[in-house]
Amino acid sequence: MNDTKQLARSGAAAVRDRAVPHGSRRIGALQALRRYALFYILLLPTFLFAIAFYYYPLSSGIYHSFTYWDIKRTVWIGLSNFERLFREPATVAAWRNMALIVASQVVVVLTFPLLGAALVHHVRRGQYWWRLAFVLPIVVPVTVVVFVWRWFYSLDGGINYMLRLIGLESVVRAWLGDPATALWAIIFVGFPWVAGLNFLIYLAALQSIPEEILDAAKVDGCGAMRRFFQIELPLIRPQMSLLVTLTIIYFLRSFDAPLIMTNGGPGTTGTLVPGLQMYRAIRDELDLGYGSAIGTVLFGVLLAVSLVNFMLRRREEKAG
């Protein structure tokens, strides 16, 4: 009997001991809320604007992708928009064009900005002015750049003028009107592709490498090329991974260059990409439900790319 009473008392004591920390945590949370109340209040407008201009349109687009929506009426049609999307021949061409553009830009972001940053990083004199020369084009809007390149590719534009100047009249063509060259012309926009932001990220990564590591490599007899490929390149791998991910995300959803330069032509699918396909469905056909379906598929692909990148980064951090 006494043993039973002692067990009951010890059980009650254990319950009280567990209850005290819970109460303490609740009080601590309330104190933290009071302490940081001003910060939460200041964050509230940003959070509300994010809901109004990002999360609500996103949820609305996903919902309307399952409907026929032409502003006047909304009719639930299930997966019909997605079935139409995957049956349409233009969809295959659009995703093929986009895959080629994305793959090309991934190669670009891993080469030209990195090469420019490495050269500037190892320049002894005038590094500030070289850095300024590469970064200054950031102030030029992308739309202006696209319009300038559209003029370059025109029959009387800069490229054909230079070809005529050196006697290559046979090569002159309407670069954006030829199905064999139109997509590649769009890919080459911005040559030599040393984008200011990519260049700055690479340069900052190279400058953050401790000098002791590079000095030790010099003492061991490593040349400049060997140091770059065996020491510097592995140490800036996180920045390279970041830029590859940002490049994939940007060009998956981008359609400004095909829209301005060719409007998806020549023909109907010469330079068509999914973003432009969505834009046409909404602007030309006023089929908002179908456009929402295209946007939902793009969102799913972008989300998958982001999650894969997140998991790879987590795995690298754990391995490190």
pLDDT tens digits for range 17-55: 444 455 566 666 777 777 888 888 888 999 999 999 999
Distance CA 284, CA 278 (A): 10
Our measurement of the distance from residue 240's CA atom to the centroid of its chain's CA atoms, rounded to an integer in Å, reads 13
Distance CA 185, CA 159 (A): 11
State pLDDT tens for residues 290-313.
Answer: 999 999 999 999 999 889 888 888
Contact between 260 and 146 (Cβ < 8 Å): yes
Domains detected in the chain: 14-64 (no CATH), 80-319 (1.10.3720.10)
State pLDDT tens for residues 220-238.
Answer: 888 888 888 888 898 998 8
pLDDT value, residue 1: 47
User: Mean pLDDT, to the nearest integer, of 243-258?
Assistant: 91
Residue 195 has pLDDT above 80, yes or no: no
Omega within 30 of 0 (cis) for the link into 141: no
**pTM of structure:** 0.83
User: Mean pLDDT, to the nearest integer, of 2-6?
Assistant: 49
**Cα dihedral 176/177/178/182 (nearest 10):** 30
Q: Is the dihedral of CA 265, 267, 269, 275 positive or negative?
A: positive
Q: Who has greater pLDDT, 193 or 288?
A: 288
